[in-house]
Amino acid sequence: MEKSLRFNLDPDDQDRINRLCGPTNSTLKQIEEALEIKISNRGSKFKVRGNSPNTSAAETVLKGLYQKLEKKTLVPPEEIHLYLREVMNQNSSTDASSNQGNEKITLKTPKTLVSPKGKNQQRYLEVISNKELVFGIGPAGTGKTYLAVAAAVNELITGKVEKVVVTRPAVEAGEKLGFLPGDLSQKVDPYLRPLYDALFQTLGFKETYKLIENNVIEIAPLAFMRGRTLNKSFIILDEGQNTTPEQMKMFLTRFGYGSKVIVTAI
């Protein structure tokens, strides 16, 4: 239920308030986007509109950043992002025990509505929604990859991320693809086919290939992740049990500011 929350920042320091809001209110926009709320202010008097837990989180974030700016000239977007995640995780941990199982999550994708089939899938989607790094472990055929792809598509079409990256180790080829016939696509596509299938079911054939062509969706073997930093991306590593410790360390250092990572394994 939407509500309005009003509060004041003390002490009333206009210079610090300007630095809090950021150039052209960039900090306020970042908080609005992360919490799906609206913020307005007149001097030190702030008004936040949105769902009740998120308005309270916004008050906590704004007051916390205001305190930080007492000793700092500015707070960079990356630090704001981390602080937002910290506050959001605290709120989700508090609410999880009371809300668990009461509200069924449904993911809207262009081709279908995806709903969990049981308590474990419900919990899996809840964790994906609230956390930046998730390990989904379970037997084959339990929906780990499909639900992760559906969550990625949902966050892409709602603007929460700008790119989807799906990868898996091409273990059948030993990741030494140079000796296989054909170009890169012909070499790796057989090992990545399950990932294409999940995208086709949630996006459709035409939209999937359109987004791949525009580099909004990227499907690649794990070896091609080296040396990259992926910001504002939803990154899925499938078949994580087939990675070496070195490959897993490499992968977990690929995601940057505003990104979310899901690792599935059996």
Tell me the three state secondary structure of residue 109.
Answer: coil
Confidence band, pLDDT 50/70/90 cuts, at residue 87: confident
Confidence band, pLDDT 50/70/90 cuts, at residue 171: low
pLDDT confidence of residue 25: 92
Residue 227 — left, alpha, or beta (φ > 0 → left; ψ -120 to 50 → alpha)?
Answer: left
Higher pLDDT, 97 or 240: 240
The whole-number average pLDDT for the span 206-229 is 87
In the numeric block, which tokens belong to residue 258? Answer: 């505003």
Lowest-confidence segment of 13-27, 80-94, 149-163, 175-189 by average pLDDT: 175-189
The whole-number average pLDDT for the span 15-30 is 93
Higher pLDDT, 62 or 192: 62
pLDDT confidence of residue 173: 44
pLDDT confidence of residue 140: 82
Q: pLDDT tens across 249-263, in order?
A: 999 988 888 899 999
Q: Residue 96 above 80 pLDDT?
A: no
- Please give the mean pLDDT across all residues of the chain: 84
Tell me the three state secondary structure of residue 113.
Answer: strand
The whole-number average pLDDT for the span 112-122 is 85
CB atoms within 10 A of CB 145: 21
The whole-number average pLDDT for the span 157-166 is 91
Give the integer Cα–Cα distance in Å for 203 and 220. 18
Confidence band, pLDDT 50/70/90 cuts, at residue 93: low
Q: pLDDT tens across 27-53, in order?
A: 999 999 888 899 999 999 999 999 888
Cα dihedral sign, 165-120-137-171? negative
The whole-number average pLDDT for the span 58-74 is 91
Q: Residue 66 above 90 pLDDT?
A: yes
pLDDT confidence of residue 120: 85
Hey, what domains does the chain have and what are their CATH numbers?
Answer: 2-99 (3.30.1370.10), 107-265 (3.40.50.300)
pLDDT confidence of residue 174: 46
Indicate the helix (H) or strand (E) that contains 167: strand 163-168
Give the integer Cα–Cα distance in Å for 254 and 231. 9
